[in-house]
Structure 1
Amino acid sequence: MRLQDQVAIITGGANGIGLAACERFAQEGAKVVMADFDDKAGNKQQQILRDKGYDITFIQVNVADRESVNQLVSNAVEAYGGIDILVNNAGITRDAMLAKMDPADFQEVLNVNINGVFNCTQAVLPYLLEKGKGKIINTSSVSGVYGNAGQTNYAASKAAVIGMTKSWAKELGRKGINVNAVSPGFTRTAMVENIPEKLVAQMSSMIALQRLALPIDIANAYLFLASSESDYVQGHVLQVDGGIMM
């Protein structure tokens, strides 16, 4: 198995892409810390995955709050003895056109999507440095690469994630730590469930593969970047978008 006995923290792990990643990593032998703000979903999914025989521990966290993140990392190390992989998957949207965007919504998205990635990575880093190796996978978006109307805050935050990824890749490569990002396209998560099917069909028609991504499609990209198969991949932004922006 590709992640046998590796300890992975996956933020935003109780729903959608993060949940798919938790199960996929566990299938490959990882000991998984499912980190999420949603404790109801987290406790439920922890039990479901444990019933399947997977080594999963749910820990509630607010990635925008440094003390909460420090406690997450401390609890993860106490539970499993160390950390090998961090997947910065947690993120939120508060969409609106520029003229109508609430400044509080703008700031909240930056707090979670930028500060959250910084907080988690800096908190985990000492354990990776101690081992002299590790994998950090950040989640950007096609919106962060190309921009998107109505997503000033989200696109800005995801562009920032790319900048952090490339900066950390240059800093940490010499320390044996791989830092890369995944840039998903439109993905069938809970957010998409509220979109009219006619609009989903229009979105699909823009994609070369003629369908939205499934959470497992993104989780498999995380898995590649977390495994030894990507040991010579550094500072890369892997677009998993079905060919929407070719």
Structure 2
Amino acid sequence: MHNAASGALAGRRVLVTGGARGLGAAFVAALGAAGARVVFGDLLHDEGRALAASLCEQGHDVSYVPLDLSQPQTITAFVDEGAKRLGGIDGLINNAAITYSGGKLATELSTETWDAVMNVNVRGTWLASIAALPHLRDSGRGAIVNIASDTALWGAPKLLAYVASKGAVISMTHSLAREFGAHGITVNAIAPGLTEVEATAYVPAERHEYYKQGRALTRAQVPDDVTGPVLFLLSDAARFVTGQLLPVNGGFVMN
């Protein structure tokens, strides 16, 4: 992890969904290093407990709570338990998502796959946001960062349900920013490119190479490339930034 952000979010109380591995784990570790107090949720119980234990050994205030975004009641329970452990919530990273539709044409998708992806990626983001709303409002400096994807910006093929869900997350970010702005809460989204984490191990090597060569910065994207922008959007430096989408992809897609 980069050390530049060390202490920048000291005492900030942050929830992270899908924090047991991949980008989520990178966010949790970076938040801990920046002085934040973190509760993260996931349905990967062994990985979640192991990560929390490891980060606590390093002196970070991090704990794990089981979470399954496909089950609405666990979302409310996760947020309530997180607020209880932290004594409130200042930030929420809506990171958890599933792909499922990878490698299949639109004509090959089942309605069950479509519904599963939408329930986790879209409905889960909505429910986590509204569950956290009272706590973020009470914080006085509440901030939500939604993790979208640049696939929704360039229309990645053979990934329709995921692309559609991330497009929805981007649109929801705009609408939630207007609704939550009345409570002083910022809501922004980032759109990472294809990042080298466990969850993208299934992606063919030629697709990874396609991304590398298509970027203005022609190299692989790693988790540390994404943590900095997320921490910025949670910080006081971004208090007047809301409703925005920030592509973080080395220039593969540009605004």
In structure 2, how many angstroms separate the alpha carbons of the residues matched to 1:93 and 1:195?
11
Determine the structure 2 residue equivalent to 1:154: 162
Determine the structure 2 residue equivalent to 1:105: 113
Instruction: Give percent identity, aligned residues only.
Output: 33
Aligned residues, how many? 246
Q: CA deviation at 1:245?
A: 2.0
SS in 2 for 1:153: helix
In structure 1, how many angstroms separate the alpha carbons of the residues matched to 2:206 and 2:182?
49
Say whether the 8 Å CA contact 1:25–1:223 is kept in structure 2.
yes
Query: 1:30-109 counterparts in 2 under 5 A?
Result: 30-94=36-100, 95=102, 96-109=104-117
1:126 aligned residue (134, 150, 168): 134
In structure 2, how many angstroms separate the alpha carbons of the residues matched to 1:140 and 1:68?
22
Post-superposition Cα deviations, 1:125-155, rounded to whole Å, max 9, x if no partner, equal 0111223330000011111222211111111
Which stretch of the first structure deviates more once superposed, 198-207 or 61-70?
198-207
Determine the structure 2 residue equivalent to 1:201: 209
Post-superposition Cα deviations, 1:93-127, rounded to whole Å, max 9, x if no partner, equal 01211111122111111011001101100100011
In structure 1, how many angstroms separate the alpha carbons of the residues matched to 2:199 and 2:15?
23
In structure 1, how many angstroms separate the alpha carbons of the residues matched to 2:107 and 2:49?
39
1:9 aligned residue (6, 11, 15): 15
Instruction: Please state if 1:187 is matched with 2:195.
Output: yes
Q: CA deviation at 1:35?
A: 1.0
Q: CA deviation at 1:158?
A: 0.5
In structure 2, how many angstroms separate the alpha carbons of the residues matched to 1:83 and 1:242?
31
SS in 1 for 2:246: strand
Determine the structure 2 residue equivalent to 1:218: 226
Q: CA deviation at 1:64?
A: 2.5
SS in 1 for 2:69: coil
Q: CA deviation at 1:80?
A: 1.4
1:178 aligned residue (179, 186, 194): 186
Q: CA deviation at 1:198?
A: 4.7
Give the direction of change, closer, same or farther, for the CA distance of 1:9–1:105 in structure 2 (3 Å limit): same
In structure 1, how many angstroms separate the alpha carbons of the residues matched to 2:109 and 2:55?
39
Q: CA deviation at 1:225?
A: 0.3
SS in 1 for 2:144: strand
The one-letter amino acid of 2:246's match is L
The one-letter amino acid of 1:243's match is G
SS in 2 for 1:90: coil
Please give the root-mean-square deviation of Cα atoms over the aligned residues, in Å. Answer: 1.3
Q: CA deviation at 1:82?
A: 0.6
The one-letter amino acid of 1:71's match is A
In structure 1, how many angstroms separate the alpha carbons of the residues matched to 2:150 and 2:247?
7
SS in 2 for 1:183: strand
Determine the structure 2 residue equivalent to 1:116: 124
The one-letter amino acid of 1:27's match is A
Which stretch of the first structure deviates more once superposed, 20-29 or 74-83?
74-83
Could you list the structure 1 runs, at least 4 aligned residues long, displaced by more than 4 angstroms after superposition. none
Which blocks of at least 5 consecutive residues in structure 1 are unaligned?
none
The one-letter amino acid of 2:19's match is G
Say whether the 8 Å CA contact 1:18–1:219 is kept in structure 2.
no
In structure 1, how many angstroms separate the alpha carbons of the residues matched to 2:203 and 2:172?
31
The one-letter amino acid of 1:142's match is D
Determine the structure 1 residue equivalent to 2:4: none
Say whether the 8 Å CA contact 2:153–2:253 is kept in structure 1.
no
Say whether the 8 Å CA contact 1:135–1:225 is kept in structure 2.
yes
